[in-house]
Amino acid sequence: MTVERPDTGLPEAVEPGEQPHNGAYVPAAATPDGSAAAGPEQPGERERPEEPEQGERLAGVARPSSALGWLAFPFAVVWRFLFPKKPRPFLVELPFLVVFALVLAFLIKTFLVQAFYIPSGSMQNTLQPGDRVLVNRAAQWLGSTPSRGEVVVFEDPGNWLEDSTTSTTTSGNWLKSALTWVGLLPADNGDLIKRVIGVGGDHVVCCNAQGQITVNGVALTENYLYPGDEPNSGYLKPFDVTVPQGYLWVMGDHRSVSLDSRYHQQQEFGGMVPVGNVVGRADIVVWPISHWKTLPIPSTFKQVGLSALALPGAVPGVALVGTMPLALKRRKRRRLLAAKRATTG
């Protein structure tokens, strides 16, 4: 195809769809089906490149713009790493899921609940050898202290296990030890489990004329004891102790075989268990399924006389303290009324 150049008047050969030197556009020849052949791209017809995302991004997370944002930034990065926008292949995802599950199990075991294995019969029939119990650790982290009647797991306060015939040797199987440390298997690391009989300030005595243990002068009706056992079975010596603040007096439900606080009065802490040694409160028996049950506080520990409020003079004192805000409020109201009358008079 030829076009005439305006400056010389001479013809110039131009291919269809090509831009000639004079700037005039030559349309492309029609195709056999009647449509025009593609010409050169015109301004504005090109695809616009995708605009970059607003703000700089680090590890797939928007760069923080405040101090609070920087504090939350590591958690956002971990979250984006665990849950990416584009799913990863399963074989790539599997190791991350395993690590995440192990970390989650460890955190639950450390701060919330932990499974423990019962190796002996010192708590029969409440707990049987081989039972697995879930221990509530959150209460200890939140500052709660054990109460009378609770079943608690605690660390050996002073070589109590040396007198026990129960083996506490840690398993040599590294896989079992690792799974126990993470929290996927119940712990059997030499901790003890007993029932709290007295807390700080309590006066625990054995026994009264009926052979019962008394706490602050109130006799305990211990229906949870092993059949045939007496409150002081196995030890057979009277005792009279006052529990210091921050300590516990503990005893097993199977008294005739339980080497509890009674047997360690000549050792460090005088048979008491420091509250700081308590791992947590046993709440539920979860295995075997046939033994499933909760471990509530027996009703005998809910008697009115057991609490410090029942001590002579304590109830009137608490009542007096409770009425003080009301008395102060009424006194303030009388002053306001007197001031109002003086102003209007």
Q: Given 109, 194, 256, 258, which residue is catalytic?
A: 194
SS3 of the chain: helix, strand, coil, percent, to 5: 30, 20, 50
> CA–CA separation, 115 vs 285, rounded Å?
9
Active site residue 122: yes
- Single-letter amino acid code for the residue at 57: R
Cβ–Cβ under 8 Å, residues 204 and 198: yes
> CA–CA separation, 189 vs 153, rounded Å?
11
- What would the two tokens of residue 240 be? 């009279």
Cβ neighbours of residue 103 closer than 8 Å, sequence gap 6 or more: none
- What would the two tokens of residue 96 be? 């991350």
- DSSP states along 158-226: SSGGGG--S--PPP--HHHHHHHHHTSS-B-SS-EEEEEEE-TT-EEEE--TTS-EEETTEEP--TTSP
Spatial CA neighbour of 14 closest among 22, 43, 38: 22
Active site residue 299: no
> CA–CA separation, 80 vs 76, rounded Å?
6
> CA–CA separation, 171 vs 181, rounded Å?
12
Q: Given 122, 164, 258, 261, which residue is catalytic?
A: 122
Spacing of C-alpha 319 from chain mean position: 37
Instruction: Give the active site residues.
Output: 122, 194
